[in-house]
Amino acid sequence: MGTIKKITIIGAGCLGKALVRQLHIKGFQIHEIVSRKKEEVESLCQLTGATANFGDYDSVLPDADLYIVSVKDDAVFEIRKKLKIKDKLVVHTSGTLPFDALKKCSSQFGIFYPLQTFSKNRMPDFEEIPFFVWASSSASLLDLYDVAAALSKKVFTAKEDKLKTIHLAAVFASNFTNHLLKISKDILEENEIDFQILKPLVEETFKKAFELSPEDAQTGPAKRGDCTTTDKHKSMLKRDDWRALYVLFSGMIREEYADKKKD
């Protein structure tokens, strides 16, 4: 283990809770947990022996080696006005905020960004999560790198622009794909068909995309230029926004692979 031993976690949402548990498992001392969510904080403190703080940023203990702020982006702006920890390393966990969003809190600041989606009552396999770190000094960056490397096998250093690109790609690959599954589920359930029948198809779709490539894995009526089917599908969709999405995707896919044939 590197120079960082005592860690304070600010924010007890899905990510904050997962970090507390995983850092605790990996032998770090959770020093203090700060959040207005009283119950969450109490149970996490019981688990780890950390001090509980119900959102009083003025009295945050000054003697942790690292402060990890895992709250919503808007709340980060609030926290940076209140939190003062001199020269202690403070990092945020957002893929979109500027690298120096916490500059006002300390002379040592940075980013500690796990590329993963966190939800209640789920613990993803931390070892496989890519962690992206960056800091205001090379000493801090090395310290952060060590903490991330204790959690995951995949740690990268990444400046702000790279992180923003990754976050944007992740929105398409995770948030939007999930919404497509929501639409599929609604289409099926309107007709009293169980959503779970799609599971093998979806699993194979994603395996294929990463084992071949999304280009080589593409199938379906739009790729084949099968307008009879795409027209039928359009007429089956009753919601305007679903139809708009269907038309946009079908057009993009048709164009993408029609061009390929011409090459």
Are 144 and 136 in contact by the 8 Å Cβ rule? The answer is: no
Residue type for position 63: D
> Which H or E run includes 199?
helix 199-211
Token duo for residue 148: 């991330």
Instruction: Number of residues interacting with its own copies: please give it, by CB under 8 A.
Output: 91
Nearer to its own copies, 21 or 223 (CB): 223
Based on the shown chain and the rule CB under 8 A, indicate whether residue 243 belongs to the binding site for its own copies: no
Residue 30, beta-bridge partner list: 7
> Which H or E run includes 111?
strand 109-114
Least separation in angstroms between residue 95's CB and its own copies is 9
Based on the shown chain and the rule CB under 8 A, indicate whether residue 76 belongs to the binding site for its own copies: no
> Which H or E run includes 230?
helix 227-236
E strands of 168-214, at which residues?
Answer: none
Based on the shown chain and the rule CB under 8 A, indicate whether residue 184 belongs to the binding site for its own copies: yes
Are 189 and 195 in contact by the 8 Å Cβ rule? The answer is: yes
Based on the shown chain and the rule CB under 8 A, indicate whether residue 208 belongs to the binding site for its own copies: yes
* Position among 25, 139, 201, 258 found at the interface with its own copies (CB under 8 A): 201
Nearer to its own copies, 3 or 162 (CB): 162
Q: Could you tell me which stretch among 20-28, 61-69, 83-91, 111-119 binds its own copies (CB under 8 A)?
A: 111-119
For residues 149-168, which are near its own copies according to CB under 8 A? 154, 156, 161-162, 164-166, 168
Q: Could you tell me which stretch among 57-65, 102-110, 134-142, 229-237 binds its own copies (CB under 8 A)?
A: 229-237
For residues 2-31, which are near its own copies according to CB under 8 A? none
Q: Could you tell me which stretch among 19-27, 55-63, 100-108, 222-230 binds its own copies (CB under 8 A)?
A: 222-230
Based on the shown chain and the rule CB under 8 A, indicate whether residue 103 belongs to the binding site for its own copies: no
Based on the shown chain and the rule CB under 8 A, indicate whether residue 78 belongs to the binding site for its own copies: no
* Position among 209, 260, 261, 263 found at the interface with its own copies (CB under 8 A): 209
Q: What is the DSSP letter of 56?
A: -
* Position among 62, 63, 174, 258 found at the interface with its own copies (CB under 8 A): 174
Residue the block writes with tokens 């009295």: 59
Are 15 and 118 in contact by the 8 Å Cβ rule? The answer is: yes
* Distance between CA atoms of residues 223 and 221, nearest Å: 6
Are 79 and 10 in contact by the 8 Å Cβ rule? The answer is: yes
